[in-house]
Chain A
Amino acid sequence: MIQNNPISRIVAHIVLIIGILIVAFPIYYAFIASTQSLQDIMRPPLSLLPGGHFWENYTTALFGGIGRIGGVGVGRLLINTTIMALAIAVGKIIISILSAYAIVFFRFPGRMIFFWLIFITLMLPVEVRILPTYKVMVDLGLIDTYTGLTVPLMASATATLLFRQFFMTIPGELVEAARVDGAGPWRFFKDILLPLSKTNIAALFVILFIYGWTQYLWPLLMTNRNDMTTIVIGLRKMISFADADTEWHLVMVTCILAILPPVLVVVLMQRWFVRGLVETEK
């Protein structure tokens, strides 16, 4: 072992603490703002400690009146966003593990064509082709449905690529052994591949959950009804671009509510997330 000298270790701690201050500050500040009154927010500088309006602001945002967001409560929006994030995460994982399985463990005519058909879509963001995609959605009658909100966002190859890479590291002897034991493709998949992929699946789940949670342009166009939209869009609706006043204190409460669930997912699942992320993407 190399012994780091204590001074360099102290420096390291200081740098890390500064780093964390930078990284965490914007979120902390949003929380501070969410506990202040509107008047205080409008007159900078804002205090660095929480204000006295925590309960007031949070109860107003959660249960107040006919609702700032077209008569729909924040709760409903959080449920929608959760459904969207979960459906995208789970759907994408199922779809991609199956296709990666097909590509790595089978030989069949047209395999490379299919492979490239899928991988060309690897990084093309939905923003770039949103107008024609929208038309397709309308033609299929998917506006204002959870299917419309979620299924098209599964059309990206990232997850498939990750599984493919991981599967390619699995030694051929394992497959051979399985075949000698008389295990068919299904049993191999269920008994060997799935357990081996656990970490990857967990990491992908986190990544995709966040991907789904943070969508913006897509739900904006895909939903017409207020009760089908997501929390990020709801947040946008609260910020006034026309003539009305923006209630920044309530905006900040909603901000915190919109940030909290994905942060919890990342932090609580960080062990798998980190391991999977680093192992698969490299």
Chain B
Amino acid sequence: MTFRGTSLSLAFGLILASSTSSFALTEISWWHAMTGANNEVVETLSKEFNESQSEYKVVPVFKGTYPETLNAGIAAFRAKQAPHIMQVFDAGTGVMMGAEGAIKPVADILSMGGAKFDKSLYLPGIVAYYSKPDGTMLSFPYNSSSPILYYNKDIFKKAGLDENNPPKTWPEVWEAAKKIKTSGAAKCGYTSTWLTWIHTENFAAWNNLSYGTNENGIAGTDVELKINAPLFVKHFQELADLAKDGTFRYGGRTSEAKPLFLSGECGIFTESSGGLGDVVKSGMNYGTGQLPYDPDAKGAPQNTTPGGASLWVFGGKTDAEYKGVAAFFTFLSRTDIQARLHQVSGYLPVTLAAYEETKKSGFYDKNPAREIPIKQMMGKAPTENSKGVRLPNLPQVRDIENEEFENMLSGKQTAQQALDNAVKRGNAAIKQANGQ
């Protein structure tokens, strides 16, 4: 076509069709959503892999937030320009699984690389979440994390609380939070990131409650939400009550509450284990504990579920390219790489070997917080309530839940109303996503 840049490229000598001369190399594109320090980790890993061999070149590309990355990947797939590897967040897992024609299971790819794929090498809780009901691992867990409790030891001391004994149950958290607020040790007692992931999805798993039918969607896409059951209602009503006088402070739908804890405004904080790095960096006197559970729930604490993201591989590429992907995943699984990733970034190790090695090195003695999420996830064999939540449209359902929670926390509705609405709207949205 005549207009393709003719007049412009004439006008600007600067407009150069930038060329990448890569004849011998097979390029593997990797779309991801990592920002800040985590972006650097992605760059470093790719660089190290590229320098470690001469056949493949991994090219990482930032595509925006998690939802933006997922969307860009899908749009690219529809346009037959999908990347080789795409990072998809936990909530997008159901979306990807619904597209069997579009993706290639990681289990197949790893065996293509020559190395035999042995599932038992990987952390069972994480692998289970990223596998089909028949056990085939579909995506490669890259950054996994689980929610844990953080608290500010200085504020605890000021409030007359035991700084070496973090609250273990929700009622204990509420008590401590009230004490922090009334004693004036801090302006707010408790805050949390991700109400959906921590107080709904993980609350269900950790207390062995059903989030939805069909094993929370793991066994099938037809799901009816169960999050308006009495224990959920009680829990959220307590949160809503604490929000009234600012004992609990809402920070936002995702990680926006973090500064509230880092600045010392709130004394107790629940957040992903991946957030540890920032807490350490802030130089505060902090302590960590397991995610609190509800003592009224039978069998609690059960186990928490992984959050974070995994790497999916698109279908329709050449064998040579898949071999490159396999080589890269094998590189990522290497014990030394995994151990380092785990220790540096705070994400969970993907392989058991990396966990063992970290343990042997005495790392957890110095950094006990790093082991909490692993213990939370591996403590008990998962039940049908605690393998994780997988919906064909989990991002949308989370949005619905967030909207209802916000209307509840601002006093416009009770917890019962909020959760009933969330179930009703969520079920309708799931039906629509399933094409019914």
Contact = CB atoms under 8 A, between A and B. Distances in A.
By size class, the interface of chain A is: 35 or more
Interface string A132-174: 0011001110111111001100000000000000000000000
Contacts of A47: none
Contacts of A247: 36
Nearest to A143: B81
Contact of B12 (A86, A238, A243): A86
Interface string A226-242: 11100000001111111
Contact of B75 (A87, A221, A226, A227): A221
A236 B36 CA distance: 10
A94 B7 contact: yes
Contacts of B59: 225
B272 A138 contact: no
Contacts of B11: 87, 90-91
By size class, the interface of chain B is: 35 or more
B39 A245 contact: no
Given A146-B15, A150-B8, A243-B346, A131 B75 contact: yes
A225 B62 CA distance: 8
A244 B39 contact: yes
A246 interface: yes
Contacts of B66: 241-242
A277 B293 CA distance: 63
Most buried by A among B36, B72, B79: B36
Interface in B329-362: 346
Contacts of A246: 35-36
Contacts of A86: 12
Main secondary structure of the interface of B (DSSP, over half): mixed
Nearest to B3: A151
Interface in B59-84: 59-66, 68, 72, 75-76, 78-81, 83
Most buried by B among A150, A227, A245: A245
B15 A87 contact: yes
Nearest to B259: A42
B263 A42 contact: yes
A86 B78 CA distance: 32
A253 to B, nearest CB: 15
Interface stretch (B99-107, B111-119, B274-282, B374-382): B274-282
A131 B76 CA distance: 10
A230 to B, nearest CB: 13
A138 B77 CA distance: 10
19 contacts: A42-B262, A66-B44, A69-B39, A70-B62, A83-B15, A91-B7, A131-B75, A135-B75, A138-B80, A138-B81, A147-B15, A151-B3, A151-B4, A224-B61, A239-B35, A241-B254, A241-B255, A242-B36, A243-B277
8 nearest CB pairs, A to B: A244-B36, A138-B79, A243-B274, A147-B5, A240-B36, A244-B37, A245-B278, A240-B35
Given A71-B43, A224-B29, A243-B143, 17 more contacts: A42-B262, A70-B62, A87-B11, A90-B11, A138-B76, A138-B79, A146-B9, A224-B61, A225-B59, A225-B61, A240-B36, A241-B254, A242-B35, A242-B66, A243-B272, A244-B34, A247-B36
